[in-house]
Structure 1
Amino acid sequence: MTAPDAAQSELTRLLELFWHPVCTLDELRAVAPRPLAVTLLGRPLAVADLGGTVAAVDDRCLHRSARLSVGWVDDGAFRCGYHGWRYAPDGTCVEIPSLPDGPIPPKACLRSYDAVVTHDLVYVRIDGAADTVPPACPALDDTTMRVVAGAPYTWPVAAPRRVENFTDLAHFAWVHDGTLGRRDRPVPPVPVVRREGGEMRFEYDPPEMESEAVALYGHSAYRMPMPCTVDIGFDLGGGVRRHLWMTASPIDEASCRSFWVVARNDDHDGDDAPHLAFQDVILAEDEPLVTNQDPPEMLLDPGAEMSVRTDRVSLEYRRWLRELLAALDAGGPAAVAAALAADRVPEAAAPDPRAVARH
């Protein structure tokens, strides 16, 4: 069994290969002309729009270690507020005011990171070796959908645990009694989980229950772009479709910031507030339980926590994470990319919808 610290280090190394949102575009603009201080996978970063190009670098001037996020943007570069050293988007120092005639030391180069803006979210990737793509909500490209972004929130729980909560079908009856489930119907169906295009996918039908018009409640098609994103499409009948999309950005091994949107193809001119308010209710129900898992880090050793057959989705999610870790250990980032691309469709489900799909 791998020691917990080593296991977490390996998971962090895996997550470094993927894109994660670090802020909204509005949050970045709100602090301009200063860079925005963010933390991704334990790394303090300074993020800024350097004149049409979003850039991310280590939030630490190489001279006397002042944070660049308390400096400002100057002529398309990061300007340190302490002694004025200026860094280009790629992290190269291009000016030292106290040495106007140079030379600039060749080692005066900060580490920079891939950064991109997609649908008003700023994504950063620590390591581009696996050629991954930023996760994006499909509803944003669907002209029939009205898409509304919720306020990002930070919880003291690992990003994979946050994702797992979204797909934990057994908790609906207990944590969300009357909103997403019924406590008198505690046994969830056990779906057949498949892998397609770097995503885990499955379907879920909730128990019959009266629900609010704004509730995301109905036949659900889950898509989980690995490793930290969930997109759920809801068919409410009568042609009404809804979406809930969330991606958990790993601040460090034990905390994450969640970015989310809800979408609907009906009532485009209606008030958005009730749709967001319903999700606020769900978050308020989840928060005391999800943030009190001990430890907050994701435990991938099969013997670390007990599981039962109704944990099918969680088991498959953890299994794929372990397989990606094994691929990284055996063949590096290229092997991770290959493991993501390998689809897996399990054998047909047993006639009993609550039967466990074979491994």
Structure 2
Amino acid sequence: MSSPGVFANLTAQRACWHPVAFASEITDRPAHADLLGEPLVVWRGADGTPRAMSDLCVHRGTALSLGWVKGDELVCAYHGWRYGADGRCTAIPQKEDPAAVPAKARVAAYRAQERYGLIWVALDEPRWPLPEVPELEDGEWIIVPAGPYRWRCDAARQVENFTDFGHFPWVHPGLLGDPERPVVPPYQVETDGHVLRYQIVRPEAPNSDDFPVFANEQAGPPERRSRYELHLPYTIVLRLGWGGQRGMVYFFASQPVAADQCVGYVVIGRNYNTDQPDRVIQEFEDTIFGQDQVVVESQRPERVPFDLAAELHLKFDAVAVAYRKTMRDLGLAASDAIGITAK
């Protein structure tokens, strides 16, 4: 079994897009990020295009994120070595001919893109594209970012919590659920390659006076219509409706920092409450994720046990069962989280 914080058997996860930062956080200074245990430096070229490389200068192992951007290159803060977007060192100022650079003077460069207000990185050729969420790009919906949410657990635990219907009345009473109506309605999960699709109509709490973020207006027990797409390994598109024209889209993605650390990013689109300050919904998300964090960080084992015999599953846990099975089938499950048996 690998040590805490170290991933094992994650070739398949390297070939996936993962978020590493909000796009607004990557400006004219390089920034550090960790992905699947790899230290990265994320920066923008002269045209604003995001770039990602190993955050270790090949010369003395200094963090390149301590340096600065000059033109279309990244400069190391220790000795001034310069690197292009492909990771190749382009200049060594200590030499009489700075351009006479050894061929091995280069660092690993990775694919990066900016979409949905996030910077995404893939360490190997991606197996799948990012999900299509036109509501977040058509310019007609109000877009609100929330987070990042840094948790001491693996990203799969954070994702499973997001999709767990049974905990809403107990962890989020009066906000996402009603303890007087805890029954999870029946639903089906369809598996389409690396995407799980499911929808549910369930009871929810009335709109909170503190957080009037939802669009339910009917008298009596409100119902929410939720359509989920879980794009493995760690991205969720959730579309909410209340039977009318008003709609909300939750876009959630978890960054697998290390085997025992993750960062969750939320981007929310809605076509109502256009004058409401962003802070209202951001404070709502901070509250929800804060309530969840205490519970999820207490879970043992810290990493999701992908062996279905390791935990008790009931019918309303269909998402977790499908998620764990498909993660294993596609080789996306960490090897040290497999094979745990029930006690």
Instruction: Tell me which interval the TM-score lies in, with the shorter structure as reference length.
Output: 0.7 to 0.9
Closer, same or farther: CA 58–139 of 1 in aligned 2, 3 Å: same
Q: Is the 8 A contact 1:37 1:44 kept in 2?
A: yes
Q: Secondary structure at the match of 2:173?
A: coil
C-alpha distance 25-144 of structure 1, shift in aligned 2 (>3 A) = closer
1:202/1:221 contact within 8 Å kept: yes
Identify which range, 89-98 or 268-277, moves more after superposition. 268-277
| Matching residue within 270, 281, 285 for 2:276 | 270
Measured after TM superposition, the shift of residue 223 of structure 1 is 1.3
Amino acid at match of 1:18: C
CA deviations 1:51-74 (Å, max 9, x no partner) are 123221111111111111111112
Q: Quick check: 1:43 aligned with 2:46?
A: no
Q: May I ask how many residue pairs the two structures share in their alignment?
A: 322
Confirm whether residue 310 of structure 1 aligns to residue 316 of structure 2: yes
Would you say 1:234 and 2:231 are equivalent positions?
Answer: no
Q: Once the two structures are aligned, what percentage of the paired residues are identical?
A: 34
Q: Is the 8 A contact 1:231 1:244 kept in 2?
A: yes
Query: Which blocks of at least 5 consecutive residues in structure 2 are unaligned?
Result: 216-222, 336-343
Superposition deviation, residue 211 in structure 1: 2.7
> After superposition, what is the alpha-carbon deviation per residue over 1:183-230, rounded to whole angstroms, capped at 9, x for unaligned?
233331231101246421111112264333423761111111221111
Q: Does the 8 Å contact 1:19/1:135 carry over to 2? A: no
Structure 2 Cα separation of the partners of residues 228 and 113 of structure 1: 19
Compare 98-107 and 232-241 and name the one that shifted more: 98-107
Write the letter of the residue equivalent to 2:15.
Answer: L
Shift in Å at residue 237 of structure 1? 2.8
Distance 1:258 1:319 in 2: 23
**How far apart in 1 are the matches of 2:251 and 2:79?**
43
Distance 1:187 1:8, change over 3 A: farther
Q: Gaps (5+ residues) in structure 1?
A: 330-359
How far is the alpha carbon of 1:259 from its aligned partner?
1.1
Which residue type is aligned with residue 123 of structure 1? W
Q: Partners of 1:258 and 1:327 in 2: how far apart?
A: 19
Q: CA deviation at 1:168?
A: 0.8
Aligned equivalents of 1:226, 1:266: Cα separation in 2: 30
What residue is the counterpart of 1:215 in the other structure? 214
CA contact (8 A) 2:7 2:37 kept: no
Structure-1 residue corresponding to 2:155: 159
- Give the match for residue 28 of structure 1: 26
Which structure 2 residues correspond to residues 1-359 of structure 1 after superposition, within 5 A? 3=1, 8-10=7-9, 12-29=10-27, 32=28, 34-52=29-47, 53-101=49-97, 103-128=100-125, 130-135=126-131, 137-196=133-192, 198-207=194-203, 209-212=205-208, 213-215=212-214, 218-325=224-331
- Distance change (3 Å), C-alpha of 1:197 and 1:264: farther
Alpha-carbon distance in structure 2 between the residues aligned to 1:35 and 1:254: 25
Which is richer in helix? 1
State how far apart, in whole Å, the 1-side matches of 2:7 and 2:18 are: 18
In 2, distance between residues paired with 1:210 and 1:119? 30
Q: Distance in 2 between matches of 1:215 and 1:46?
A: 38
Find the aligned partners of 2:278 and 2:333 in 1 and give their Cα distance.
43
Q: Which residue of 2 aligns with 1:347?
A: none
In structure 1, distance between residues paired with 2:188 and 2:201: 13
CA RMSD of aligned residues (A): 2.5
Q: Is the 8 A contact 1:181 1:206 kept in 2?
A: no
Give the 3-state SS of the residue equivalent to 2:143 in structure 1: strand
Secondary structure at 1:319 match in 2: helix
C-alpha separation in 2, matches of 1:54 and 1:271:
29
**What is the CA-CA distance between 1:39 and the residue it aligns to?**
0.7
What amino acid does structure 1 have at the position aligned with 2:141? Answer: M
TM-score normalised by the chain length of structure 1: 0.82
Q: Which AA in structure 2 matches 1:188?
A: V
User: 1:286-340 CA distances to partner (integer Å, 9 max, x unpaired)?
Assistant: 12101222232222122222222221111001111011018999xxxxxxxxxxx
